[in-house]
Each structure stands twice: as C-alpha cells, then as structure tokens.
C-alpha cells in the first residue's frame, strides 16, 4: 500500500516573512495528519527559516533543485550535503521549468537523481510532455524517454527512495488540468515501465505524484485514480487554506 504524498513547490515566490508565516500556518493547520506524507519546497534562501518553522511539525522540507557535485568551484549551486545539513529530506529534480527554461538535460537530471540518493536525499523526479507532444501523440514516448534516461544506473534498491512526479507541461500554472483519465493513463504507463526496469514489486511501491494545476476542487478525482499516489502542487501550495484543504481531502 503506497502512502499518499503531497508536496508544495513554492517556486520563486514568498519573502522571508511570508515564507515563515506560510510554513507556520501549515504546521498548525495540519498537525495530527499522519496518513499523508507532506513536504514543502521553499526558495533556497528561505530553507533554513522554514525549517525552523516546521521543526516540531509533521511537514518535511524539500529543495526545488540540487547540484550533483559534492563541493568546489560551482558558483551558485547547492550540494546534497548542504541540503541535508539544513534539514532537507526531499529535493525536486527535473522540474519542467528547469528542463525548458534553464535547459537542463536528461543526462544532468540523471546525475542529480544519483547524487541525491547517494547523499541521503529523497528525489522528487519530474517528467512530463509539452503541448506539442500531447497533440502529436508522442506523450508516452517523451515521458518514457525521460524516465529511462533520468534513471540510468539507478538500482532497484535505490529506486525505493524515488518519487516520480508526472507533470504535463501544458497543465503547469495554466489552470488547465489533465483529466483524471489522462493522468491515470500516463501514471499506469510509467508504472508499467518501472516494472520492466525494476520488477513489479518495486514498481508497485514507487509513488507517482500528479502535478499541473492541482487544486482543492480536483484533488479528490485525481486521487481516486489507482496509480495517482499524491500531488506536486505549485500555485495552490502558496495558500494555506488551499494546500490544507487538499491534504485533508487526501487524508
């Protein structure tokens, strides 16, 4: 049985005061929830103050990115060890904005997945097709390529640390949500591919989140799909009442 997992990706939003206030309100609002794993991923500069606000809570901390090298001359980057050091449990990698705005490749994302697992962080490994892929009928080809290339060299044992997030790019921040059926189709395809790569037992244990304009009003129908194990939430994660409502719907 896979425990549901919801994560909030705050992206490049909040400031020092509002980040702490958001985290503190969520901690208060969601105390006692133990049937859903929860995490928030604030901007890097607020990770430590959010960590303090969450210290007595059941909400885990995640980063929005990570670099694969341990240390050295990599200006502007942050290592897994640094993130562990300040209390991060999770790290998002392969987010579509990093793939398509910052130009990250499958090869780079694969290095991040491997480094995160070796460094004791739990990857939230994002994949998803663009609108032209969906319209051109190549969704499964694109997503399966991202999965295979992003997981090169990752063993079955290591795979148990990974959450996959399926985020159709055309649904991110656009207000367009994949229908529950569209989400389920791709989630089932991903789980089938994981079974080919790692065997059925591992495939059945890996959590696959959906992301793309998830909000309180569509949480129940998305979560009702057999292969949707949680949500990666952008915009709605910035509002205490929305994120809390989604957690409570799932719980």
Nearest to 190 by CA among 148, 232, 135, 249: 148
Convert 227-245 to b/e letters by CB count within 10 Å (16 or more is b). Answer: bbbbbbbbbbbbebebbbb
Report the site for ligand PEP in 59-118 (rule: CB under 6 A).
none
Contacts of 63 (CB under 8 A, 6+ apart): 41, 44, 47, 78, 83, 88, 90, 91, 92, 121
Closest approach, Cβ 201 to ligand PEP, in A, equals: 28
Number of residues that bind ligand PEP (CB under 6 A): 13
167 an active-site residue?
yes
The two most distant CA atoms of the chain are separated, in Å, by: 48
Closest approach, Cβ 155 to ligand PEP, in A, equals: 27
Cα-based torsion angle of the residue sequence 89, 162, 13, 236 in order, rounded to the nearest 10 degrees: -110
Closest approach, Cβ 110 to ligand PEP, in A, equals: 20
Nearest to 184 by CA among 134, 211, 222, 212: 222
Q: Does 20 bind ligand PEP (CB under 6 A)?
A: no
Other residues' Cβ atoms within 10 Å of the Cβ of residue 51 = 16
Q: Does 123 bind ligand PEP (CB under 6 A)?
A: no
CB closer to ligand PEP out of 62 and 147: 62
Query: How do 230-233 and 207-211 pair as beta strands?
Result: parallel
Report the site for ligand PEP in 204-243 (rule: CB under 6 A).
211-214, 232-236
CB closer to ligand PEP out of 81 and 216: 216
Q: Which of 69, 167, 185, 196 is catalytic?
A: 167
Closest approach, Cβ 133 to ligand PEP, in A, equals: 17
Of all residues in this chain, which one has the CB nearest to ligand PEP in the complex?
234
Residue 154-173 contact track with ligand PEP, rule CB under 6 A, x = bound: -------------x----xx
CB closer to ligand PEP out of 46 and 234: 234
Residue 229 CA to residue 4 CA, distance in Å, equals: 5
Closest approach, Cβ 6 to ligand PEP, in A, equals: 11
221 an active-site residue?
no
Q: Does 193 bind ligand PEP (CB under 6 A)?
A: no
Contacts of 74 (CB under 8 A, 6+ apart): 67
Residues acting as catalytic residues: 95, 167
Binding site for ligand PEP (CB under 6 A): 9, 167, 172-173, 211-214, 232-236
């Amino acid at each position: 049985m896979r425990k549901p997992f919801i994560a909030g990706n705050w992206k490049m939003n909040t400031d020092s005061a509002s980040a702490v206030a958001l985290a503190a309100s969520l901690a208060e609002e969601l105390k006692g929830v133990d049937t859903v794993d929860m995490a928030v991923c604030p901007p890097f500069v607020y990770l430590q103050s959010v960590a303090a606000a969450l210290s007595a809570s059941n909400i885990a901390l995640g980063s929005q990115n990570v670099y694969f090298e341990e240390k050295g001359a990599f200006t502007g980057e942050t290592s897994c060890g640094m993130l562990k050091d300040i209390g991060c449990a999770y790290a998002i990698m392969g987010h579509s904005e990093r793939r398509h705005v910052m130009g990250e490749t499958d090869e780079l994302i694969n290095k991040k997945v491997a480094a995160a697992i070796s460094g004791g962080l739990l990857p939230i490994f994002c994949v998803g097709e663009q609108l032209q892929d969906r319209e051109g009928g190549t969704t499964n080809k694109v997503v399966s390529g991202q999965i295979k290339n992003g997981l090169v060299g990752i063993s079955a044992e290591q795979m148990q640390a990974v959450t996959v997030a399926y985020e159709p790019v055309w649904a991110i921040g656009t207000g367009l949500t994949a229908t529950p059926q569209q989400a389920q189709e791709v989630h089932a395809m991903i789980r089938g591919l994981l079974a080919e790569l790692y065997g059925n037992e591992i495939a059945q244990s890996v959590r696959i989140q959906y992301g793309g304009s998830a909000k309180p009003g569509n949480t129940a129908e998305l979560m009702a799909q057999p292969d949707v194990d949680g949500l990666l939430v952008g915009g709605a994660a910035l509002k205490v009442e929305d994120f809390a409502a989604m957690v409570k719907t799932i719980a």
